[in-house]
């Protein structure tokens, strides 16, 4: 979703990073730190950054990654020994062919899966998956849960409905909500039956029925190049014909690209009441 911004966003400086650690050491504001970026495992100082975060008092250090480099056991071990204990891994689909087609990287699925198996060898490390839901992946959602059922350290599965960082669906990746919904619900049911937590992002809350409490659109406090927010605004979230009547505090409504492609869907959306 952010691939078009990755070429020009400025990374946070080492000085800012040190300031943040010093701030948290004094004020104990956060218990966890998430290191992310275009692909954080390409950062040669990642083990050192994780170690510094742990030493400054962060209880948990998470990385967000495509997980491919974790397939090298030595590297995975190095990260865990440096203090990374939470791995948020992108899994695009349920099998090598589908996943590799989406990532456009041959062999990526097997490397990512091997990475998750490497994490599984550790007692104190957890993994969380995110599957971005697009026209190319939504039919795979229940199969993704099946494919990862054997991983014991996988504690949470997330499903984020694609947002294009644009007012238009330029890459033609959006699919209609009602078409995706049965696959999403089946995936949630399966994941929960395995004892996993589930979070859903950017889906109309009123369509989720018994799973409406799984919608979590909040994000951790983000330290990022301010230009990111200019790009993020282009999504045009919080649009809904029922916004005035709806009391949902969590729903992002529809975004501009979705409305342009599929309309307002006011006949299927139902304003929520908190009472
Ligand atoms: S009615 Fe609109 S704002 Fe309310 S939950 Fe549904 S999509 Fe979200």
Q: In this predicted structure, what is the pLDDT of residue 1?
A: 65
Check if the beta carbon of residue 136 is closer than 8 Å to that of residue 102.
yes
Look at the domain 14-262 and name its fold.
Answer: TIM Barrel (3.20.20)
The answer to whether the CB of 271 is under 6 A from ligand 1 is yes
CA of 251 to the centre of ligand 1 (A): 6
Domain regions of the chain by residue span: 14-262
CA atoms within 13 A on the CB side of 16: 8
The answer to whether the CB of 167 is under 6 A from ligand 1 is no
CA of 219 to the centre of ligand 1 (A): 19
- CA dist., res. 39 & res. 1, Å (int): 13
Q: In this predicted model, what pLDDT tens digit does every residue of 4-57 receive, in sequence order?
A: 777 788 889 999 999 999 999 999 999 999 999 889 999 999 999 999 999 999
Q: In this predicted model, what pLDDT tens digit does every residue of 127-143 receive, in sequence order?
A: 999 999 999 999 999 99
- CA dist., res. 18 & res. 43, Å (int): 16
CA of 239 to the centre of ligand 1 (A): 9
The answer to whether the CB of 252 is under 6 A from ligand 1 is no
Check if the beta carbon of residue 62 is closer than 8 Å to that of residue 87.
yes
Nearest CA to ligand 1 atom 1: 271
Q: In this predicted structure, what is the pLDDT of residue 6?
A: 72
What residues have CB less than 8 Å from 264, skipping those under 6 apart?
240, 241, 254
């Amino acid at each position: 979703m952010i691939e078009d911004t990755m070429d020009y966003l400025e990374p946070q400086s080492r000085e800012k990073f040190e300031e943040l650690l010093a701030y948290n050491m004094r004020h104990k504001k956060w218990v966890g730190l998430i290191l992310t970026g275009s692909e954080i495992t390409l950062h040669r100082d990642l083990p050192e950054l994780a170690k510094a975060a742990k030493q400054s008092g962060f209880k948990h250090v998470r990385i967000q990654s495509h997980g491919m480099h974790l397939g090298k056991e030595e590297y995975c071990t190095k990260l865990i020994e440096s203090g990374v204990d939470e791995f948020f891994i992108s899994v695009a689909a349920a099998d090598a062919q589908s996943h590799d087609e989406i990532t456009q990287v041959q062999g990526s699925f097997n490397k990512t899966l091997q990475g998750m198996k490497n994490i599984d060898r550790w007692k104190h490390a957890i993994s969380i998956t995110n599957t971005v839901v697009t026209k190319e992946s939504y039919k795979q959602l229940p199969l993704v849960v099946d494919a990862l059922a054997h991983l014991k350290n996988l504690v949470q599965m997330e499903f984020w409905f694609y947002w294009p960082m644009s007012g238009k669906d330029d890459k033609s990746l959006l699919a209609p909500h009602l078409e995706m919904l049965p696959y999403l619900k089946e995936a949630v049911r399966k994941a929960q039956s395995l004892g996993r937590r589930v979070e859903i992002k950017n889906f109309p809350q009123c369509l989720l029925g018994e799973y409406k409490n799984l919608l979590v659109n909040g994000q951790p406090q983000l330290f990022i190049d301010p230009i990111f927010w200019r790009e993020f605004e282009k999504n045009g979230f919080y649009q809904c014909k029922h916004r005035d009547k709806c009391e949902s505090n969590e729903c992002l409504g529809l975004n501009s690209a979705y409305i342009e492609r599929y309309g307002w869907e006011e006949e299927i959306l139902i304003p929520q009441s908190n009472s």
